[in-house]
Chain A
Amino acid sequence: MKTNKQNLPDKNGFYGDFGGKFVPETLMYALEQLETTYTKLKDNNEFKEKFYSDLSEFVGRPSPLYFAERLTKHYGTGSIWLKREDLNHTGAHKINNTIGQILLAKYMGKKRIIAETGAGQHGVATAAVAARLGLECHIYMGSEDVERQSLNVYRIKLLGAHVHAVNSGSATLKDALNEALRDWVTNVDNTYYIIGSVTGPHPYPMIVRDFNSVVGEELISQSKELFSAMPDAIVACVGGGSNAMGAFYPFISMNETRLIGVEAGGEGVETGEHAAPLNDGIPGVLHGALSYLMQDEKGQVKETKSVSAGLDYPGVGPEHSWLKDSGRAEYVAVSDDEALRAFHEVSELEGIIPALETAHAFAYLDILMKEYDSSANIIVNLSGRGDKDINTVAEIDGIKL
């Protein structure tokens, strides 16, 4: 297996067959500029120091690797450890990459920041770092998501950013990305686009991965310290795939650790009503990258279905497509119902309300833990906290708040 992580992406931005730069010509120069800037800064000591000190002082890193005692007892097999990204400032892993990207924006002299958001976590994280630097900030969000993540919409506004509801298409994350790209094409000279996952044209999947890899790097040292071994498996939910990629990346060359991504199965993968392109998609081009994609029999992008706004996306980051085809990572899916069950279970057993996205990773433990005995160490990447999902879950449970 070709798993030398130093090699990818190649100079054209490809991970094997996947990735690339498929954007209107107007954006080509902006992508080149971004790549040049990033290449120059990423090994620069001053830049790295600033990045890590912001992560420590503004985000509160490192996040703990926490032993989930009652969840472990519940399954009665291996030890379950939680990587507590929910404890980050603003409540999810998204802040890690926005801290890095806003430094790039600042270095490039961009005065205006744009971003798309699904669950609103990336919108909140972007608004927070933009506020900190006093930069004008615009967040695009599908109107359906504006509705189901209203708490985060208000947080974004409190942080001084503008929220633009997007009504086109399915009015979810994919359409928010379309609109953000249109904004970028129009305002490319003064605007930095902070993409929120390991998606989009090269160099974004690489940049977002690298910044969020702080998670996987911490996992290596925390695993050594807490159980003197590398984990047997890391489980993470996959929407665009940034929380998973950040946790997986430093482990790619360590074949003893299984890497398991959990997609949104919606009503069930077999029904076609889901958001699981790695389980039930074919390669195609969306938002600048070639990757697994949910398409219909005419080559149109299919509308997705998931209870979780952050996973409700028909595409996936290109490096995940490569990890799937190379066999280095496994990708499974769990349904809305299974995720909701796990949401309640983790809240009651651990005193932690996970994000609905993260609940998908927890739900897969039902199957995974059967494969292990008590000597195993399993890490769940707890990508974010569930405060934002309270309204959605209450409504499903028939409770008026």
Chain B
Amino acid sequence: MNRLTETLANLKQQNKKALVAYLVAGDPDIETTIDLMHLFVEAGVDAIEIGVPFTDPIAEGPVIQRAHDRALKNNISLKDIYSMVEIFRNKDSSTPLILMGYLNTFMFHKKIIEENKNSAIDSILVVDIPGELNLNDYGIKSSSINTISLISPTTKQDRIESIAKNSSGFVYYVTLRGVTGASNLDSNEISNNVNEIKKHASVPTLAGFGIKSASDASLLSKHSDGIIIGSSIVQMIEQNSVTKEFDRIREYITEIKQAIS
């Protein structure tokens, strides 16, 4: 069974909320990314979302854009990311891994994705395709990978239904109008929309974009099956990319984990 599907099902059974953490592959370098991924898991992260660096990440705010730029300076390609994941898997064969990126990269590297050696990757989230569609519609066929679709506050009712049905890992509810790292959460709107999604989705609904503090996390986890944290972690990676002392991230994840438990 797909690790992501299994992990989310187990959490649900235990009545627990999922914590997904994001970083950009190769920021500040591949070795550090691998260390950080293990650190995430030790600190209580249930699944890792790996950002695939792209020159034109239109859905990202400044913090994650800078992370993409740092990774691109190291010339990281999707091929390098699959090699990186292979090394990670030597020590950790159970944590679900999700690739998050832009369609151009995935279309360009179709073969690597279809091969998905040892089923190392569990899921792919393409930021810039309509929610009803998935990689299959772009000629990328892989049975070992499931698709996560996005639903946003502006998604209309009739589309919520078809997108929710199309999503196979979880439904990613984008909590705000804006790019990653923005901060204009509207808790009423979020709870209404997530309830609507849940009517149609057979998979869990997780909420992400704009979650920073433990109180954001606590609030959003009440409405959803789990949360995704990106920009605030990426910012801490940026601040400590020279010393590579990441204790602050460990503390932060622990704090968030408590807030959603």
Using a CB–CB cutoff of 8 Å, the interface residues on chain A facing chain B are 21-30, 32, 168-169, 174-175, 178, 181-182, 185-189, 284-288, 293, 295, 298-301
Contact = CB atoms under 8 A, between A and B. Distances in A.
B75 interface: yes
B141 interface: no
B152 A24 contact: yes
Q: Is the interface of B mostly helix, strand, loop or mixed?
A: loop
B56 A186 contact: no
B179 A301 contact: no
Interface string B64-88: 0100010010010111000000000
B237 interface: no
Contact of A187 (B131, B159, B177): B177
Given A174-B56, A182-B179, A22 B154 contact: no
A286 B57 CA distance: 10
Contacts of A29: 154-156
B182 A25 contact: no
A300 B54 contact: yes
Contacts of B54: 300-301
Interface string B113-153: 00000000000000111110000000000000000011111
A178 B56 contact: yes
B104 interface: yes
Contacts of B56: 169, 174-175, 178, 286-287, 301
Contacts of A22: 103, 128-129
A29 B127 CA distance: 15
Contact of B72 (A181, A189, A295, A300): A300
B103 to A, nearest CB: 5
A250 B177 CA distance: 39
Given A28-B159, A175-B56, A300-B72, 8 more contacts: A24-B59, A26-B177, A168-B65, A287-B56, A299-B77, A301-B54, A301-B55, A301-B56
B128 A24 contact: yes
Contacts of B40: none
A307 B152 CA distance: 41
17 contacts: A24-B127, A25-B130, A25-B155, A26-B177, A28-B130, A28-B131, A28-B159, A29-B154, A29-B156, A178-B56, A182-B58, A185-B177, A284-B108, A285-B102, A293-B104, A298-B75, A298-B78
Contacts of B65: 168
A298 B130 CA distance: 24
B193 to A, nearest CB: 12
Contacts of A25: 130-131, 149-152, 154-155, 163, 174
Contacts of A287: 56, 58
Nearest to A21: B130
Interface of B: 54-61, 65, 69, 72, 75, 77-79, 102-105, 107-109, 127-131, 149-156, 159, 163, 174, 177-179, 182
A206 B44 CA distance: 49
Contacts of B79: 298
Contacts of B75: 298
B177 A189 contact: yes
Nearest to B126: A22
A22 B58 CA distance: 11
A240 to B, nearest CB: 15
A343 B55 CA distance: 33
Contact of A188 (B108, B154, B174): B154
Nearest to A180: B58
Contacts of B55: 169, 300-301
Contact of A26 (B109, B154, B159): B154
Nearest to B173: A25
Nearest to B102: A285
A286 B75 CA distance: 19
A330 to B, nearest CB: 26
A140 to B, nearest CB: 12
Contacts of B127: 24
A185 B107 contact: no
A173 to B, nearest CB: 12
Contact of B58 (A181, A188, A298): A181
Contacts of B177: 26, 185-189
A287 B103 CA distance: 11
B155 to A, nearest CB: 6
A287 B59 CA distance: 11
A32 B152 CA distance: 15
